[in-house]
Structure 1
Amino acid sequence: MRFATYTVEGAARAGVVVGDGIHPLPPEVTVLDLVRAGLSAALEAGAAVLSGPVVPLEAVRLLPPLAPPTVRDFVAFEEHVEGVVASVSGGSGVVPEWYEAPTFYFTNPYALLGAFDDVPVPPGSRLFDFELEVAAVVGRDGSSLAPDEVEIFGYTVLNDWSARDLQRREMKVNLGPAKGKDSATTLGPWLVTADELESYRDSEGFLELDLRVSVNGTEIGQDLLSNMGWPFEELISYASRGTWVRAGDVLGSGTCGNGGCLAELWGRGREIPPLAPGDVVEMTAEGIGTIRNTIITGAELPPVRAARPRPRKRTR
């Protein structure tokens, strides 16, 4: 089943997507409510409205499928790391530590955008980039979970928009990323329940979904989600070590390889311009759907003030 959040006539609603229409759920029900109720209860609630009214998809604005309490983003594709290390940090190859355990950072749940929303260039950035990912949504609260204890409610497409020039500076301080990443993240077009994608699972537990991204109609990247270094169950298990994951938490796969972002291609010597206002970025994940965002001019803000030289006083 496919659950979406949308606005129509100024009101936000949740619904079930079937074909080119949305069957509205009761006004008080959100997709996060359904996730927290569990997959069986959510499927039952969705089935109950399928015989009711239908709103055409073309008549609504799709919002992010849910309002997650947290968003973690992993870096789970080795090929992506190989290319990006050169263009972002000036290094080469993949550090041995990448292979030892999954790595993630927390990103901004307040900066989520819908599947077809416009995306402003972050203030001060001249090297704006996309990142093609799939995200899993946790289906059950848990702490220090083994991979076989993890419950995944469903999956959605994630575009981790990145200001590479801001990111480069931040990474040299060995902390971050911060403003290089938190201006926008697209989620959508809807949340596909995990049962719909089980037929794509391979013998090692990975989902063999085709992933593609284009800019202005020209395909830039293509990969398989099954090229991840770890399946989602292991990523969520790692995230839960010594702490908690909650139903509704979003965990990104990290950017796929083979052109999943421009920075990877820059690191391999490809001369492709960064994103600019007017560019249209389209991403499709097999079995999930397509998101399409247009880049627009962002806010012009004063430059950031540099730090003062360190003070030397020890007493007042």
Structure 2
Amino acid sequence: MRLATYLHQGVRRCGAVEGDRVSPYPDGTGLLDVIASGSLPETGAAVPLAEVRLLPPIEPPSVRDFVAFEEHVEGVRKSVDGTAGVPDAWYDAPTFYFSNPYAMVGARDDVPLPPGCQALDFELEVAAVIGRAGSDLSPGQARAHVFGYTIFNDWSARDLQSREMRVGLGPCKGKDFATTLGPWLVTADELEPYRDADGFLRLALTAEVNGEVVGRDLLSNMGWPFEDLVAYASRGARLRPGDVLGSGTCGNGGCLAELWGRGGERNPPPLRPGDTVTLTVEGIGTISNTVVPGAAPVPIPRARRRTRERP
């Protein structure tokens, strides 16, 4: 089943998508409530998808974004800091960072250029959405805790990211401004036919900029299946319904920075206002966002150099 959140005639609704129509759940129902309850409400009269504005399927309590594709790490590392290869530590565990759960963007919404950014990039990912709470899960237990999957575009301000990470922390403002979720949430059972013999979901991934294909990959090229990501995220922590876990960006052109790292130049160029990024995932659907002008950065002074005087 495909579940969407949307605006129709100015009213926020959620419901079940079938073909080119969506059937609403009762007024006041949110997909996070549906996920937590584990049961699907009755639906009303269907309306055409062409008449609604798709919103992010859920407002997630938390967002963890992993880096599970070896090929992506190799290319982006070269682009960001000029270092070749993949760090040995990458192979030890599926590393993630926490992203901004309040910066979710709908499947067709415009994305403003973040303040001060001159090197905007997209990132083609798939996200798992947690349906059942749990902690310290094994990979074998984790599969039953995934409610479904959606497309995840982790927009990235590469110039801001590169400078901030010299401090030794995470991407910070380089990732803080927008993440597209959508077009809907596909329940886990719908994607089981795509599971390969090794337990990975073999879904075709395609990235386009202004109608030109710049990347193709398979979700099954992840270094770990989603069950391992869920298990690792739950280690010493409690996952809750609606938590979003991104796969990390796929390889072979899943983002521009990987191509920049491999080619040694910014070709294709960074995204600018007017560019449209379209991401398609087999079995899930398509999201398409256009970059628009954003706000100018509010000036923040440089840190003053302090003495080491003590009381």
Q: Please report the TM-score for the alignment, with normalisation by the length of structure 1.
A: 0.96
- Which residue in the other structure is 1:14 paired with? 14
- Which residue in the other structure is 2:78 paired with? 86
For 1:77-117, what per-residue CA distance to the aligned partner results, in whole angstroms no more than 9, with x for missing partners?
00000000011122110000000001000000110000000
Structure 2 counterparts to residues 1-316 of structure 1, below 5 A: 1-38=1-38, 41-42=39-40, 45=41, 48-49=42-43, 52-150=44-142, 151-269=145-263, 270=265, 271-315=267-311
CA drift of 1:311 comes to 2.6
CA drift of 1:8 comes to 1.3
For 1:126-164, what per-residue CA distance to the aligned partner results, in whole angstroms no more than 9, with x for missing partners?
000000000000111001001111121000000000000
Measure the CA separation in 2 of the matches of 1:201 and 1:305: 52
Identity %: 64
Structure 2, unmatched stretches of 5+, are none
Measure the CA separation in 1 of the matches of 2:161 and 2:18: 40
CA drift of 1:312 comes to 2.7
Q: Which amino acid aligns with 1:187?
A: L
Measure the CA separation in 1 of the matches of 2:51 and 2:268: 36
Q: Which amino acid aligns with 1:108?
A: N
Q: Which amino acid aligns with 2:70?
A: E
CA drift of 1:304 comes to 2.9
SS at match of 1:5: strand
Q: Which amino acid aligns with 1:310?
A: R
Check the 8 A contact 1:89/1:171 in 2, yes or no: no
Alignment length, in residue pairs? Answer: 307
Q: Which amino acid aligns with 1:219?
A: V
CA drift of 1:257 comes to 0.1
SS at match of 2:206: strand
Q: Please report the TM-score for the alignment, with normalisation by the length of structure 2.
A: 0.97
Structure 1, unmatched stretches of 5+, are none
Q: Which amino acid aligns with 2:68?
A: A
For 1:6-58, what per-residue CA distance to the aligned partner results, in whole angstroms no more than 9, with x for missing partners?
011221111111111110000121110111112xx23xx3xx32xx4111111
Q: Which amino acid aligns with 2:239?
A: V
Q: Which amino acid aligns with 2:158?
A: R
Measure the CA separation in 1 of the matches of 2:157 and 2:64: 18
CA drift of 1:192 comes to 0.3
